């Protein structure tokens, strides 16, 4: 029988600069990933002809997700944390 791993994820990025946070992943108390500026937003910002800003909120995406593509438990743990972060446009204007 395989023992269940203890996966802990923390992310300290927050609106309005949510992408600038540090993501930390621990498995059984050992840090296996710790990186700042590793996320991006799917949102967008644009301006009309009168320079009125139009911001579309997005989701926070982890740029290194492919490094853990074979580990669904870690992916679920990471996105359970990142999905709670409020992001804005996807680019600091």
The pairing of beta strand 53-56 with beta strand 44-47 = antiparallel
Local structure of residue 2 (DSSP, 8 states): P
What percent of the chain is modeled with pLDDT above 90?
A: 57
pTM comes to 0.82
pLDDT in tens, 33-76: 999 999 988 877 788 899 888 877 788 899 999 999 999 999 99
Kindly indicate the confidence band of residue 2, based on its pLDDT and cuts at 50, 70 and 90: low
Positive or negative, the CA dihedral 50, 56, 60, 61 is: negative
- Dist. CA 78–CA 29, nearest whole Å: 16
Backbone angles phi, psi at 89, to 5 degrees: -85, -20
């Amino acid at each position: 029988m395989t023992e269940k791993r203890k996966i802990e994820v923390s992310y300290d990025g927050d609106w309005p600069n949510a992408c600038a946070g540090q993501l930390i992943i621990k498995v059984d108390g050992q840090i296996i990933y710790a990186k700042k500026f590793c996320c991006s937003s799917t949102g967008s910002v644009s301006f009309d002809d009168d320079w009125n800003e139009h911001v579309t909120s997005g989701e926070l995406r982890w740029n290194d997700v492919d490094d853990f593509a074979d580990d669904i438990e870690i992916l679920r743990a990471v996105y359970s944390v990142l999905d709670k972060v409020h992001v804005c446009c996807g680019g600091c204007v």
